[in-house]
Amino acid sequence: MSDLTSLKVPIGVRDRFATVAKVRGLTVRALLDQLSRELADATLMEQAARQMSQLHEADPDAWDDYLAEGRHWEEATVEPLDA
Q: Which DSSP category does 60 fall into?
A: H
Distance CA 51, CA 66 (A): 12
3-state class (DSSP) for residue 40? helix
The string of pLDDT tens digits covering residues 22-79 is 999 999 999 999 999 999 999 999 999 999 999 999 999 999 999 999 898 888 887 7
Confidence of residue 83 (pLDDT cuts 50, 70, 90): low
Distance CA 28, CA 15 (A): 10
Distance CA 13, CA 9 (A): 6
